[in-house]
Amino acid sequence: MDITLQVNGVPRAVDVDPRMSLLDLLRERLGLIGAKKGCDHGQCGACTVLIDGRRANSCLALAVAVDGSEVTTVEGLAGGDGLHPLQEAFIEHDAFQCGYCTPGQLCSAAGMLGEPGPSAVTDDVLVDPDLTPAEIRERMSGNLCRCGAYVNIVSAISEVAR
């Protein structure tokens, strides 16, 4: 099926099998290998990208179903040649070891910082809470890090959230 996506600001027209996930399209067809295939079941978050500005598991999105969308991957997060503030903070805070989960962590954090409202750990759901470490941990629970760099990931995101 013919679909058209705006990927990191560039229009891309591709002919895809209806079974193809957005993740496989990005990696196998468009050469964007930043988003990673971890579990392929939406449980690890390594494949996280922004679809129309919202973070999503690209392994669970059929490419045909996101026809017409704007997709941002870690390659396009900074929007230029420099680094996104989250990328700078991850380096500064040593927020990764092997790096496999990092593109997903970065895209997830970028999406999370734009999400309004309470989380499951917010005391009063009427309040838009400050992004305390407890709030960040809860909001980032869809991204696993097998190296266990969580402490530094939370501190890196905290710095940008301030």
Partner 1 sequence: MKTFEYARAASPSDAVRRSGPGVMYLGGGTNLVDLMRLGVAQPDHLVDVSRLPLDAIEQAGDRLRIGAAVRNSDLAADPLVRARYPMLARAVLSGASGQVRNMATVAGNLLQRTRCAYFQDVSRPCNKRRPGSGCPAIDGDHENLAVLGRSDACVATHPSDMAVALAALDAEVHVTGPGGDRIIPMPGLHRLPGDAPERDTVLEPGDLITAVELPPPPPGASAYRKVRERASFAFALVSIAAVLDVRDGAVAGCRVALGGVAHAPWRAGRAEQAIIGGPATGEAFLAAAEAELDEARPLPRNAFKVPLARNLIVRTLEELTP
Query: Rounded distance, CA 59 to CA 41, Å?
Result: 7
Least CB distance to partner 1 at residue 66 (A): 10
Least CB distance to partner 1 at residue 31 (A): 23
Ordered alpha helix ranges (H), 72-118? 85-92, 102-112
> CB-wise, 81 or 124, nearer to partner 1?
124
Residue 114, burial from CB neighbour count under 10 angstroms (0-12, 13-18, 19+): exposed
Least CB distance to partner 1 at residue 142 (A): 3
> CB-wise, 10 or 13, nearer to partner 1?
13
Establish how many alpha carbons lie within 13 A of residue 52's alpha carbon, considering only the half-sphere containing its beta carbon: 6
> CB-wise, 91 or 127, nearer to partner 1?
127
Least CB distance to partner 1 at residue 7 (A): 18
Binding footprint of partner 1 on the chain (CB under 8 A): 1, 17-19, 21, 40-43, 45, 48, 54-57, 60-62, 64-65, 108, 111-112, 115-120, 122, 125-126, 137-143
> CB-wise, 64 or 78, nearer to partner 1?
64
* Kind plus residue range of the DSSP H or E element containing 3: strand 2-7
In 3D space, the residue among 22, 33, 19 whose CA is nearest the CA of residue 66 turns out to be 22
